[in-house]
Amino acid sequence: MNMTSSYDKTHALHAAEHVDPARLIGAIDALATIGARSDGGVDRPALSALDIEARRTLIERAQTLGCTVTTDACANLFFRRAGDEDLPPVMTGSHIDTQPTGGRLDGAYGVLAGFECLAALADAGVRTRRPLEVAIWTNEEGSRFQPGAMGSSTFVDPARLDGFRTVRDAAGVTFGATLDAHRTAFPALDTRAPQHAHAFIELHIEQGPLLELADTPLGVVTGIQGVRWHSVRCMGAAAHAGTTPMAVRRDAMTLAVRVRGAIEACALALGGDAARITFGSWNIEPNSINTIPSTVTFTVDFRHPDPAVLARFDAALKNCLAPHGADVRLEPLFEHAPVHFADTAIARVHEACDALGARSQPIVSGAFHDALHLAKVCATAMIFVPSRGGISHNPLEATDDADLVLGTRALAHCLVELCNEAR
CB 90 within 8 A of CB 202: no
Query: Is 413 marked within a binding site?
Result: no
Distance CA 2, CA 244 (A): 88
Q: Under the rule (CB under 8 A), what is the footprint of a copy of itself? A: 206-210, 213, 225, 227, 229, 238-248, 251, 253, 257, 260-261, 268, 273, 275-282, 284, 287-293, 299, 301, 303, 333, 365-368, 390-394
Beta bridge partners of 365: 224
**Residue 395 Cβ vs a copy of itself, minimum distance, rounded to whole Å:** 12
Residue 106 is labelled as binding a ligand: yes
Beta carbon of residue 342, minimum distance to a copy of itself (angstroms, whole number): 21
CA–CA separation, 119 and 408 (whole Å): 12
> Any binding-site annotation on 95?
yes
Inter-residue contact 302 to 275 (CB < 8 Å): yes
Residue 295 beta carbon to a copy of itself: minimum distance, rounded to whole angstroms:
12
Closest by CA to 81, choosing from 419, 371, 381, is: 419
Q: Cβ of residue 204: shortest distance to a copy of itself, in angstroms?
A: 11
The identity of residue 223, as a single letter, is: G
Q: Any known ligand binding at 204?
A: yes
- For the bound state, the minimum distance from the C-beta of residue 317 to a copy of itself, rounded and expressed in Å, comes to 16
Closest CA relative to residue 43, chosen from 109, 102, 105: 102
What's 145's DSSP letter? S
Minimum distance from residue 297 beta carbon to a copy of itself (Å): 11
| HSE value, Cβ hemisphere, 13 Å, CA-based, for 352 | 34
d(Cα 92, Cα 382) in Å, to the nearest integer? 9
Q: Long-range contacts for 260-266 (Cβ within 8 Å, ≥24 apart)?
A: 260/298, 262/320, 263/232, 263/300, 263/317, 263/320, 266/313, 266/316, 266/317, 266/319, 266/320
Q: Omega into 286 within 30° of 0, i.e. cis?
A: yes
Binding-site residue set: 95, 106, 141, 204, 393
Binding-site residue set for Zn(2+): 95, 106, 141, 204, 393
